[in-house]
Structure 1
Amino acid sequence: MHIAVNAWFWNQPYTGSGQYVRELVRALWRLRQSESRYADLRLTLIAPECNGALYDVPEGVQSICVKAGKGQIGKVLFEQRTFPKVAGTIGAHIAHVPYWAAPLSSPVRLVVTIHDVIPLSLPIYQGGLGGRLYFGLVRASAQGVAHIITDSEFSKQEIVQHIGVPPEMVTAIPLAVSERFHPRLGAERDAEVRRKYNLPEQYALYLGGFDVRKNLRALIAAYTYVGPSVGDEYPLILAGAPPKRWGTPRFPDLPAEIAARQELGQWIRWIGAVDEADKPALYRMARLFVMPSRYEGFGLGALEAMACGTPVVAAEASSLPEIVGDAAYLVPPHDSRTLGGAIIAVLIQDDLHASLQNLGLARASNFSWERTARQTYAVYEQVLAR
């Protein structure tokens, strides 16, 4: 079985698509090396020269760098023409596109991973005319692939609804967290991260984006209840890269909203973008992690926090209940008062905190990249058996 993999994002390991393709390829290759059932597996990464030579490729996995233009046009041409053509030339049995950008036609059977359909579910995320044209293209291309992989049953339902494919054409295969996320204490490393971001001894953490679906307005409003009670002891740390411009339909002006409520400034702190290597310590040192998002295709941040032994308060919305199960404190996404009460409860009730900590660690251990790889290989077999 020879699988060609679109490796456009391979050299971007700290993007979601980059992490996915790297972790999946590594896990598939470990199976190939350790179990006879997978002995006939061949993997070839196909990537554009403009992104540089591929690095950290597992020994034995082949890679091909081909000429491709830069920018969005170059990316589209690579996805639509170059990748399927090269996959056919090398005799691949399946071409796997590990993000939502399958070609309209291909000499090789196509499998595409669609992590979510946010631009179709929430049209505000399509952007201008160029974005609408691009998402129209990839929506049409997804209808012609042999099979679609997605991260959750919620996303599967969304794909069936918004792309218009039959349910049997879509398989939900959960993601997993990197081995870097664990609860083992590293006092020196944690202290280094604490100094780097000037973190307090105790804090509640939000780590992620600031676009409107992340529902940060509800979290900020929740801290009007949390702050007077425990805000001095447990300030809210907002971590993540800020947008280029606040005050747009996609990015509400959160700093202005905090400034308008002067008391919030003493309980909410911004630390900006966080280096990927620092995230495990940031999770590990937090008293709790809060994920109030209204829409997530998977909600990896909640799972990362659980793997680090940090209790999670999350919105009961989209894929989050499916991913966290009974291991998180779930609240309605639009009820800031209830969200505030949940945060206070987990912060101050030691028994509840310990229970969620243990449940979260157990829940996170159910997800592994080995499991993801086995189920992905089963999809490949299913496609080839048709």
Structure 2
Amino acid sequence: MTRVGVDAHVLDGKFQGTRTWVLETLRRAPALAPDLAFVVYSGDPARTAAMLGDVEVEHRVLPPGGPVGRNLRFWPRAMREDRLDVLVTQYFSPPRHPDRQLVVVHDVLFETHPEFFGRGTRWRNKLLVGWSARRAGTVATVSEYSRSQIARVYGRRTEDVLLVHNGVEPPPPSSATLPPQVPAGTRYALMVGRLEPRKNLALALDAFARVEDPDVRLVVVGRDDFEDPATLARLAAEPRAVHLSDVPQDELWELYRHATVFLFPSRGEGWGIPVLEALAVGTPVVASDATAIPEAGGAACTYVDLAAPDAAAAFAAHLTDAFAGRLVLDADAARRHVEAFGWDRSADELVAALRRAVAPRETAAR
């Protein structure tokens, strides 16, 4: 049986797209591929097992430490001792056995939009991600946009960068209530994501300040992740804004459901999972047209050109229309788009990528 190792250290960390991708694909892929034995490495295997439910995988402890230590010391030993035929990592991969690696690079924004990253992070990623993407036997990503940029920047053929999309699973009806900071009946624009300059909270605040209705709110869900202190101060000082972090998943779905409009002004994404989540519960979306975001939203969203002379005014106009009931979601377009990007499809794509990763070795062994 082919043995597949999966680096799941992101399950121990902050909520972000890479964490969601690992969790949702791992919940499904083992059942789709009984010929593959999955070995999942995380810092807390008991907690990871609880997150995955009854999925049949082997669990291993992943020692604490950064990507350099994992790749130079831990992974070469684990690949040997656990007899791994292929190792799945995100962004960074070990130097040994490149032919046995599937590295998933969600985006290369540090290459295409370096202004969003600190100098140390930018150069570390240029070195380590670039090295991994050039050498790994198999490279995958989550969007056509990222696929084209990986091919362009690292010289791989576009067709050799496989797609394992992000996705969404529409939630069942919930008995959860909204957080107490958002009373029932409140009309609000919702913004979800880590607070960092790339997410463009400053523009969201500029736009919301132009909305004249005193009874509406801007609800921002996300933990500070190197956001500009001046922008955080503006958020705290805005009397109509509500800032939440570490919201339980069932409450987050309720926030999506009851939002008047979902706001996503990000300047760069490898995909944009929150856009798809908002569409999945029937909430209108106003988003930027940057990078891969139009792939995440499809034809169901309203887009704003960030390069326009006054993007804040354009966002404000759409917010005003939403609060006045003039911005209506095309429910059929949203449904078709959401149905095209279920996590079952993502798991299918992962299994296909894994089989492609091991095919040359299986052929050589015959």
Which residue identity lines up with residue 171 of structure 1 in the other structure?
L
User: CA separation in 2, counterparts of 1:204 and 1:257?
Assistant: 14
Deviation at 1:134, TM superposition (A): 5.2
Tell me the residue number matched to 1:240. Answer: 222
Q: Which runs of 5+ in 2 are unaligned?
A: 361-366
Identity of aligned residues (%): 24
Aligned-pair CA distance for 1:343: 1.9
Supply the distance in 2 between the matched residues of 1:101 and 1:370 (Cα, whole angstroms): 25
Residue pairs, 1:187-198, within 5 angstroms:
189-190=176-177, 193-198=178-183
Could you tell me which residue of structure 2 aligns to residue 45 of structure 1? 40
Correspondence for 1:270: 242
CA distance in 1, matches of 2:105, 2:203: 28
What is the rounded CA distance, in whole Å, between the counterparts of 2:80 and 2:31 in structure 1? 25
Give 1:273 deviation, angstroms: 0.9
2:206 paired with 1:221: yes
In structure 2, C-alpha distance between the alignment counterparts of 1:101 and 1:43, rounded to whole Å = 19
Letter in 2 for 1:280: W
Is the CA contact 1:176–1:368 (under 8 Å) kept in the aligned structure 2?
Answer: yes
**Equivalent pairs, count:** 353
Q: Equivalent residue of 2:83, what SS?
A: coil
In structure 2, how many angstroms separate the alpha carbons of the residues matched to 1:272 and 1:150? 30
CA distance in 2 between partners of 1:115 and 1:93 (Å)? 23
Matches within 5 A, 1:121-200: 121-129=112-120, 132-133=123-124, 135-179=126-170, 181=171, 184=173, 186=174, 189-190=176-177, 193-198=178-183
Q: Distance in 1 between matches of 2:278 and 2:218?
A: 15
Residue of structure 2 in register with 1:205 after alignment: 190
> Secondary structure of 1:280's partner?
helix
- Find the aligned partners of 2:102 and 2:146 in 1 and give their Cα distance: 16
Check conservation: 1:299, 1:319, Cα contact below 8 A: yes
Residue 55 of structure 1 aligns with an amino acid whose one-letter code is: A
Q: Hey, what does 1:295 align to over in structure 2?
A: 268
Structure 2 Cα separation of the partners of residues 244 and 212 of structure 1: 8
Segments of 5+ residues of structure 1 without an aligned counterpart are 32-37, 260-264
- Per the TM alignment, residue 163 of structure 1 is displaced from its structure 2 partner at its CA by 2.9
Q: Secondary structure at the match of 2:4?
A: strand
Summarize the Cα distance change of 1:328–1:59 in structure 2 as closer, same or farther, 3 Å threshold.
Answer: closer
Q: CA deviation at 1:9?
A: 2.4
Contact residue 84 and residue 108 of structure 1 kept, 8 A? no
Distance 1:62 1:254, change over 3 A: closer
* Correspondent of 1:306 among 275, 279, 294: 279
> What is the match of residue 11 of structure 2?
10
Deviation at 1:125, TM superposition (A): 4.3
Structure 1 residues 245 and 112, CA, compared in 2 at 3 Å: closer, same or farther?
closer
Match of 1:113 in 2: 104
Q: Distance in 1 between matches of 2:232 and 2:186?
A: 25
Judge which range, 119-128 or 149-158, deviates more.
Answer: 119-128
Q: 1:363 maps to which residue?
A: 337
**TM-score calculated relative to the size of structure 2:** 0.86
CA contact (8 A) 1:208 1:240 kept: yes
**Residues in 1 aligned to 2:208 and 2:12: alpha-carbon distance in whole angstroms:** 39
Equivalent AA in structure 2 for residue 189 of structure 1: A
1:83 pairs, out of 75, 93, 118, with 75
CA distance in structure 2 between the aligned counterparts of 1:125 and 1:338, rounded to whole angstroms? 23
> Would the alpha carbon gap of residues 238 and 22 (structure 1) be closer, same or farther in structure 2, given more than 3 Å must change?
closer
Shift of 1:233: 3.5
Q: Is the 8 A contact 1:215 1:333 kept in 2?
A: no
Shift of 1:20: 1.8
Residue by residue over 1:345-368, the C-alpha shift from the partner in whole angstroms, topping out at 9 and shown as x without a partner, is 233235x42x43453233222211
Instruction: Specify the alignment match of 1:284 in structure 2.
Output: 257
What is the RMSD computed on CA atoms of the aligned residues?
2.7
Q: CA deviation at 1:92?
A: 2.3
Normalized against structure 1, the TM-score is what? 0.82
> Any conservation in 1 of the 2:17–2:273 contact (CA below 8 Å)?
no
Q: Which residue of 2 aligns with 1:324?
A: 297
Structure 2 vs 1, CA of residues 269 and 79 (structure 1 numbering), >3 Å: closer, same or farther? same
